[in-house]
């Protein structure tokens, strides 16, 4: 189970995040100070939500210590400072993303999922499902040993389907992951590209689940 560490001294914020993340299936730990947060991070976590305004040391210092100690886990900065200088400083210091307070839980969850997907993608170089193989470094796809020519968007869609093989992915999920959150949610582009993939992989490989989405079978 994915373990998220919250380094934040505001008990209301911690409680808000802990309830939401626990309900979403994450293991959650928290620390009210930078030093305690560094100690917990050393024990092994998958992602850190890091408040910049901590009582004992700045979040920038915590971030610097994490990177200096070789921790390459995703770090999302939580900050009430929305000036470009502060945001740039956080990203330059090694943060993977930032969220400006006040925030909604949906925003936090979306950012966490995005950063964890980035980490998983960078860790794997080859995905397989049956005789369907995706080489993530070469951006090549083969079916039964036969190379299949895919556009960049077709490859991205195939990657999402293979990573979640057997799981139904809604059109909205595929739109957000392959085309970006700002893409027109009323578009039928997902259906069009699924049709393209069926033509190249075989019509029976991608199942339509009526009213729900698509599943690689």
pLDDT value, residue 123:
58
CATH assignment at residue 13: 3.40.50.2300
Q: Check: CB of residue 63 under 8 Å from CB of residue 90.
A: yes
pLDDT digits (tens, 9 = 90+) for 146-184: 999 999 889 999 999 998 888 899 888 888 778 765 556
Final residue in a domain of this structure, among 95, 122, 149: 122
Final residue in a domain of this structure, among 105, 122, 139: 122
Separation between Cα atoms, residue 186 and residue 73, nearest integer Å: 35
Q: Give residue 132's domain range.
A: 125-216
Residue 138 CA to chain centroid, in angstroms? 22
Are residue 116 and residue 21 in the same domain, yes or no? yes
Q: Is the pTM of this model over 0.75?
A: no
Separation between Cα atoms, residue 154 and residue 152, nearest integer Å: 6
Are residue 108 and residue 25 in the same domain, yes or no? yes
Residues of the chain with pLDDT under 50: none
For the chain, first and last CA: distance in Å? 24
Percent of the chain with pLDDT over 70: 88
Q: Check: CB of residue 37 under 8 Å from CB of residue 31.
A: yes
HEC string of 131-142 equals CEEEECCCCEEE
Are residue 163 and residue 67 in the same domain, yes or no? no
Final residue in a domain of this structure, among 122, 154, 189: 122
């Amino acid at each position: 189970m994915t373990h998220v560490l919250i380094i934040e001294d505001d008990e209301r914020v911690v409680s808000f995040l802990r309830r939401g993340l626990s309900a979403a299936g994450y293991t959650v730990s928290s620390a009210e100070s930078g030093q305690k947060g560094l100690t917990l991070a050393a024990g092994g976590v998958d992602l850190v939500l890091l408040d910049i305004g901590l009582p004992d040391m700045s979040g920038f210092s915590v971030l610097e210590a994490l990177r200096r100690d070789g921790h390459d886990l995703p770090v999302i900065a939580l900050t009430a400072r929305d000036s470009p200088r502060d945001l740039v400083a956080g990203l330059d210091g090694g943060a993977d993303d930032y969220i400006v307070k006040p925030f909604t839980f949906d925003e936090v969850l979306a950012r966490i999922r995005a950063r964890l997907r980035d980490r998983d993608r960078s860790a794997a170089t080859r995905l397989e499902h049956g005789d369907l193989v995706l080489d993530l470094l070469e951006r090549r796809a083969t079916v039964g040993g036969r190379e299949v020519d895919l556009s960049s968007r077709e490859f991205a869609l195939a990657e999402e389907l293979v990573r979640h093989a057997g799981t139904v992915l809604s059109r909205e999920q595929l739109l957000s992951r392959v085309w970006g959150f700002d893409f027109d949610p009323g578009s039928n582009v997902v259906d069009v590209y699924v049709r393209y993939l069926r033509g190249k992989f075989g019509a029976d490989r991608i199942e339509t689940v009526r009213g729900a989405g698509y599943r690689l079978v």
